């Protein structure tokens, strides 16, 4: 599969508002969760049908409607119809391979970005597309699979934190985006610890495994950069957009979020430069070590070249040579040669010359 762009043949020629899932299905059934709250009341529940959520759009409360699983066109069609949202918006939500973006429509704002999580067990990075539809009283979020990354925000709502319980959907969207950006910084810091630990062994024991580690960290940081840079552009546009769906008091938080994204990008670039420097140090160290080996072998050869020269010119044509007529002389010679060759190989191996 292509690493940076994916396009399947059956997607070619589709209408822009076609409710067609583009991506990898990561969950079997679509899960619907709802949190409705104001400064005094809270309602949280799982729902089975889209129609069970529609009545909340007419209330004077803030409703957070979360959809886990984007592969069901019927669910997306019901959301578009029930909330009076253009099909084009839901078509973009179903494209999980799209670049992070922000678009303002007549009755909502659509924004999307890549959500990154670190699997502690496998030490691998998982990328998931997150989309949000911001309306006056309802925030609809779309995730590819069920997860607990937003649980801190839910806890703040449950614990009646004043700011989030008294603010609107725009501040709730900021709180969720803040979680995503914090995960960027956290994952970069974890990778950074691994990058910095390489320096401890780079000069003392630069074996081949270090090359694999360096290349592994470079792949992971490149994957992060591929997701974070477009996210920066999206948040930058979000901080500048003039919309009725975003209160003036929320813009300062989006600008703060932009600072955090810049911090993540700067840290990522710094670690990528460190890895390049480490790669250069490795090759320099190996070259220096090879020079030392060549120096030793040269001295060794210089010592034996004149001896070999004399033996080659004069030979060993003496009348009396020990063991000349000994029955096992030939086998003794082969044994001595084998012992010498084996001993030199063991010596070179211990010196880590090959």
What does the pLDDT profile of the chain (354 residues) look like in tens digits?
445 566 665 566 566 777 888 888 888 899 999 999 988 899 999 999 999 899 888 888 999 999 999 999 999 999 999 999 999 999 999 998 888 999 999 889 999 999 998 887 777 888 999 999 999 999 999 999 988 899 999 999 998 888 898 889 999 999 999 999 999 999 999 998 888 888 777 766 777 778 888 888 888 998 898 889 999 999 999 999 888 899 999 999 999 999 999 999 999 999 999 888 888 888 887 787 788 778 877 877 766 776 676 666 666 666 666 766 777 777 877 787 788 778 877 877 787 666
Specify the pLDDT at position 120: 74
Residue keyed to tokens 């070249």 = 305
Specify the pLDDT at position 344: 76
Specify the pLDDT at position 2: 47
Alpha carbon dihedral 233, 236, 242, 246, in 10-degree steps, equals 110
**50 DSSP 8-state letter:** T
- Contact, 217 vs 192, CB < 8 A? no
Specify the pLDDT at position 244: 87
Specify the pLDDT at position 332: 77
- Tokens representing residue 13 in the block: 């020629």
Helix (H) / strand (E) element for 340: namely helix 329-350
Q: How many other C-beta atoms lie within 10 A of the C-beta of residue 192? A: 17
Specify the pLDDT at position 5: 60
Residues 6+ apart with CB under 8 A from 187: 116, 117, 118, 125, 224
Specify the pLDDT at position 44: 93
**245 DSSP 8-state letter:** T
Please give the model's pTM, rounded to 2 decimal places. 0.80
Specify the pLDDT at position 1: 41
Q: How far apart are CA 203 and CA 106, in angstroms?
A: 61
Q: How far apart are CA 323 and CA 334, in angstroms?
A: 14
The superfamily in CATH containing domain 9-283 is CorA soluble domain-like (3.30.460.20)
Q: How far apart are CA 354 and CA 350, in angstroms?
A: 9
């Amino acid at each position: 599969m292509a690493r940076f762009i994916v396009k399947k043949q059956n997607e070619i020629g589709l209408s822009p508002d076609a409710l067609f899932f583009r991506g990898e299905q990561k969950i079997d059934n679509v899960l619907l969760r709802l949190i409705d709250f104001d400064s005094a009341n809270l309602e949280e529940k799982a729902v089975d049908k889209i129609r069970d959520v529609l009545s909340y759009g007419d209330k004077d409360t803030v409703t957070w409607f979360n959809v886990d699983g984007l592969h069901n066109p019927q669910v997306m069609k019901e959301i578009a119809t029930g909330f009076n949202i253009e099909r084009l918006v839901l078509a973009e939500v179903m494209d999980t391979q799209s670049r992070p973006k922000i678009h303002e429509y007549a009755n909502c704002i659509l924004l999307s970005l890549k959500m990154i999580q670190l699997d502690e067990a496998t030490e691998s990075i998982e990328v998931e597309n997150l989309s949000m539809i911001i309306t006056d009283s309802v925030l609809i979020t779309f995730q590819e699979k069920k997860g607990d990354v937003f649980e801190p925000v839910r806890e703040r709502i449950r614990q009646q934190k004043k700011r989030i319980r008294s603010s609107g959907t725009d501040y709730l969207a900021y709180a969720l985006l803040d979680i995503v950006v914090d995960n960027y910084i956290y994952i970069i810091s974890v990778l950074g610890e691994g990058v910095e630990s390489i320096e401890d062994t780079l000069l003392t024991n630069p074996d081949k495994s270090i090359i694999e580690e360096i290349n592994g960290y470079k792949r992971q940081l490149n994957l992060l950069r591929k997701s974070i840079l477009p996210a920066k552009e999206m948040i930058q546009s979000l901080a500048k957009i003039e919309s009725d769906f975003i209160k003036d008091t929320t813009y300062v938080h989006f600008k703060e979020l932009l600072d955090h994204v810049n911090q993540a990008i700067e840290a990522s670039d710094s670690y990528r430069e460190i890895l390049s420097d480490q790669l250069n140090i490795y090759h320099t160290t190996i070259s220096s070590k090879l020079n030392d080996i060549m120096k030793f072998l040269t001295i060794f050869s210089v010592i034996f070249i004149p001896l070999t020269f004399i033996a080659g010119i004069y030979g060993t044509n003496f009348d009396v040579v020990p063991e000349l007529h000994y029955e096992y002389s030939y086998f003794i010679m082969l044994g001595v040669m084998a012992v010498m060759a084996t001993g030199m190989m063991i010596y070179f191996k211990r010196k880590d010359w090959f």
